[in-house]
Amino acid sequence: MDRSKLYRRFRTLLIANRGEIACRVIRTARAMGLRTVAVYSDADRDAMHVALADEAVLLGPARARDSYLNVERLIEAARKTGAEAVHPGYGFLSENAEFARACFDAGLVFVGPTAGMMTAMGSKSGSKELMEKAGVPLVPGYHGDAQDNATLAKAAEKVGFPVLVKASAGGGGRGMRIVRSAAELEPAIVSAKREALAAFGDDRMLIEKYVDNPRHIEVQIIGDSHGNLLSLFERECTLQRRHQKVIEEAPSPTLNPAQRETVCAAARKAAGAVNYVGAGTIEFVSDGKDVFFIEMNTRLQVEHPVTELITGVDLVEWQLRVAFGEALPLKQDEIRLNGHAVEARVYAENPTKNFMPSVGKISTWRLPAETGGLRIDAGYREGDTVSPYYDAMLAKVIAWAPTRDVAIERLNRGLEETDVRGIVTNIPFLSSLMTHPKVRTNAIDTGFIERELAVLTAAAPAPGELELCAAVAAIVNEERQAALADASSPWQTFGWQPVGRRQRSFAFRVGHGPEQKITLNYGSGPSTLVIGERELAFTITAKDGGFDLTLDGVKSSVAAVIDGHELYLRTRNGRFDLHWVDPFGGESEEHVGEDKIAAPLPGTVVAVLAEEGAKLEKGAPILTLEVMKMEQTLRAPFAGVLKSIKCKIGDIVQEGVELAVVEPAGE
């Protein structure tokens, strides 16, 4: 193969992706003087990555298969805009050998490995065969060509339960299931194959021995076309949920220097087996004693910023320089490890409702400044809409410090200062995770989040005196700011009135709990707040993102967001969501009962798991939806009879649409 066609200088780069990764690549490419081209679907017309790029091309309808996964349209977009190179980002087609080959055939530089390298290492099955020959230790398992259920079942029995059923292509936890008994195997294979086919266009599976209490460690590698292959230390990605990474850090706090060198040398050996060119990640699982190779990701990873922060290397810049045909600028012994970095993934999802994705318009988007060791990689802005068609990640908050403890503290402070409203996010969950004592002491494994879920998703503390006063202050502060916009308004002076002293009553509640009342006294003399028998003097000093509230001489910083009658507050005691009870009545809220089997979000019906007339136990699966590229199974809310199913496989259903009716037992 002519290397001049594979690696050469270019001026215009098309990013075949969306969201925060497209924004991330665009920033480095533009800093290097390159012209950038974004692609987008109908759902992403106003997306941040479209605005950042120099040009943007519409690919097609919202569904990924009709837009971001359409190879022909991507190649045509490059042709239309004069792009000479394509960066695939991660996810979508980033590990698709056919896409890499199509780019080459179209005369485009593919910023990544060749199709041959991708086929060899991107397939979990194929890479295991290579690693076996190279002498890299493997997790026991089956990675053969035969994919019928009988063969996979026999392989699982030979390996011994529990096993991991895992998609040969792709990543991100999609197409992956833990199976602990033979009875669970067939439905797990069917579901995993379906999910893998939808996400990656490939439903081949492998079977691995499931390592109990495992740790997930991965090594960042990068190679150039001159035969240089480097490792850039390792990352610890053990804090996962459903095989999806939640928190990542570098270096691993689990490894000592000798173990670090051993695992990095193994990673270089693994990538060297195919003379790898480009950025990639060699992934390992550890049982606390030994480390086993599990797969290679032939692309950049979501968590690459933690490696960048401890090495000072811009991995996207290095990817582009390798694609130019340049040699890597450093040798292995010139790469230095400096400090510690931790990353948290901010998702549009509700941890208290089984991490159900959340869609809608972002009404408030406040992220901390990128100072003091903080870095923010975001793909959304205030006013953007989170759609149900793609991955739910909004941004990444990353912190660097000289030590792990300080890095964790900085990350937690960054999360505390991150306010996203209009949709539900996992920010409070991430804060709970980072403050958990076992996380601080690194006493974790990949099952930690599931075991500690009740603690990590515990209800916020009830609002106290400070929060009720802050709620009133937030309303008053907003009213004052609105008045300041009108130079003629007498309300520019807080509590202004012609004569006398007035009272104003407020009532708040959390969820559907009891009302808590507070009275504001204002007018002539100092303003006060009365809660029960206590009366407190208070003042408000506005500032960006909130205000300082002084109660009886004690000043507290308060972050506040008001959306109609919904208030979000952050005080020294934590995060609080309060409902401001309408003082004039007229409260009208629709209460959707837990018994209603309805679509939680827009999605596609991919499986019907029970028949009409069937007797169901509580929790029995009824049907499965594909929402945001992940499967969500809807289950019976109580024991009873499945009276009717109001949908069929392939139906695209909207949020709130009733899909099935269960009649309680005994009726």
User: pLDDT for 49-75, tens place per residue?
Assistant: 999 999 999 999 999 999 999 999 999
Amino acid in the structure at residue 381: R
* Phi, psi (degrees; rounded to nearest 5) at 616: -120, 140
Closest CA to 240 of 219, 260, 214: 214
Please give the pLDDT value at position 202: 86
Amino acid (1-letter code) at residue 373: G
Would you place residue 487 in the very low, low, confident or very high pLDDT band (cuts 50, 70, 90)? low
Q: Which residue has the higher pLDDT, 259 or 125?
A: 259
> Would you state the pLDDT for residue 666?
67
Among 18, 94, 122, 446, CA closest to 301: 94
pLDDT of residue 276: 94
The pLDDT of residue 526 is: 86
Per-residue pLDDT of 254-286, as tens digits, reads 999 998 998 999 999 989 988 999 999 999 988
The active-site residue out of 18, 177, 299, 345 is 299
N- to C-terminal Cα distance for the chain? 72
Amino acid type, 613 = G
Whether 490 has a pLDDT exceeding 70, the answer reads no
At residue 6, the pLDDT reads 87
Average pLDDT for residues 139-164, to the nearest whole number?
A: 90
Q: What's the pLDDT band for 125 if we cut at 50, 70, 90?
A: low
| Lowest mean pLDDT, pick from 82-91, 440-449, 594-603 | 594-603
User: Which of 101-110, 197-206, 394-403, 621-630 shows the lowest mean pLDDT across its residues?
Assistant: 621-630
Q: In this structure, are residues 662 and 597 in contact, taking their beta carbons and an 8 Å threshold?
A: yes
The pTM (predicted TM-score) of the whole model is 0.81
Find which of 81-90, 287-296, 599-608, 639-648 is predicted with most confidence, using mean pLDDT. Answer: 81-90
CB 381, CB 367: distance < 8 Å: no
Q: Which is more confidently placed, 74 or 141?
A: 74
**Three-state SS at 203:** coil
Check residue 328 and report its DSSP letter: P
* CATH code of the domain occupying 215-456: 3.30.470.20
Taking the CB of residue 324, how many other CB atoms lie within 10 A of it?
17
pLDDT > 90? residue 500: no
Higher pLDDT pick, 169 / 324: 324
Give yes or no for a contact between 166 and 208, defined as CB atoms under 8 angstroms apart: yes
The answer to whether 344 and 413 have CB atoms below 8 angstroms apart is: no
pLDDT in tens, 339-358: 999 999 999 999 988 898 89
The pLDDT tens digits of the residues spanning 404-444 come to 999 999 999 999 999 999 999 999 999 999 999 999 999 99
d(CA 402, CA 441): 17
Structural class in CATH, domain 465-580: alpha beta
Report the chain's mean pLDDT, rounded to a whole number: 89
pLDDT band at 200 (very low <50, low <70, confident <90, very high): confident
Q: Which range has highest mean pLDDT (79-83, 349-353, 457-461)?
A: 79-83
Q: What integer is the mean pLDDT of 642-660? A: 89
Q: Give helix then strand counts, H and E, for the chain.
A: 18, 41
Q: Which CATH architecture has domain 597-664?
A: Beta Barrel (2.40)
* Cis, peptide link before residue 583, omega less than 30° from 0: no
Reply yes or no on whether the pLDDT at 483 is more than 80: no
Structure tokens that stand for 103 in this block: 């780019």
Q: What is the mean pLDDT of residues 360-367?
A: 92
Give the per-residue pLDDT at 257: 93
Q: 477 to each of 524, 526, 546, 661, how far by Cα in Å?
A: 19, 16, 9, 47
More confident site: 127 or 90: 90
Rounded distance, CA 640 to CA 664, Å?
4
Is the per-residue pLDDT at 659 higher than 60? Answer: yes
3-state secondary structure of 267: helix
Q: Which residues are within 8 A (CB) of 648 and not within 5 positions of it... i.e. 6 or more apart?
A: 605, 608
pLDDT at 294: 84
Q: Which residues contact 189 (CB under 8 A, 6 or more apart)?
A: 149, 152, 165, 177, 205
Give the strand pairing for 528-531 and 534-543. Answer: antiparallel
Mean pLDDT for 537-546 is 87
| CA–centroid distance for 196 within its chain | 18
Scanning the structure block, which residue is given the tokens 């086993």? Answer: 292
Q: Is the pLDDT of residue 592 over 50?
A: no
The pLDDT value given to residue 111: 98
With a pLDDT cut of 70, the percent of the chain lying above it is 93
Distance CA(40)–CA(20), nearest Å, equals 13
Q: Torsion over CA of 430, 431, 432 and 433, rounded to 10 degrees?
A: 50
Among the listed ranges 112-126, 133-147, 587-601, which one has the minimum average pLDDT value?
587-601
Per-domain boundaries in the chain: 3-111, 140-209, 215-456, 465-580, 597-664
On the question of pLDDT at 522 being above 90, the answer is no
For 628, the enclosing helix (H) or strand (E) is none
pLDDT at residue 316 in the model: 98
Q: Is it the case that residue 667 has pLDDT exceeding 80?
A: no
Arithmetic mean of pLDDT, 311-340: 98
Mean pLDDT of 608-628: 89
Helix (H, G, I), strand (E, B) or coil at 145: coil
> Could you confirm whether 480 is annotated as catalytic?
no
Is the pLDDT confidence value at 647 over 80?
Answer: yes
| CATH for the 3-111 domain, from 3.30.9.10, 3.90.226.10, 3.90.1310.10, 3.40.50.20 | 3.40.50.20
- How do residues 368-391 score in pLDDT, each as one tens digit? 999 999 999 999 999 999 998 898
Does pLDDT of 496 surpass 70? no
Q: In terms of CATH, what superfamily is 140-209? A: ATP-grasp fold, A domain (3.30.1490.20)
pLDDT band of residue 473 (cuts 50, 70, 90) is very high
Q: How many CA atoms lie within 13 A of 112 on its CB side?
A: 33
Instruction: Quote the pLDDT of residue 584.
Output: 60
* 561-592 per-residue burial string, b: 16 or more CB within 10 A, e: under 16: bbeeeebbbbbebebbebbbeeeeeeeeeeee
- Whether residue 589 is predicted with pLDDT greater than 90 in this model: the reply is no
**Could you tell me the pLDDT band of residue 585, with boundaries at 50, 70 and 90?**
low
Residue 539 has pLDDT above 70, yes or no: yes
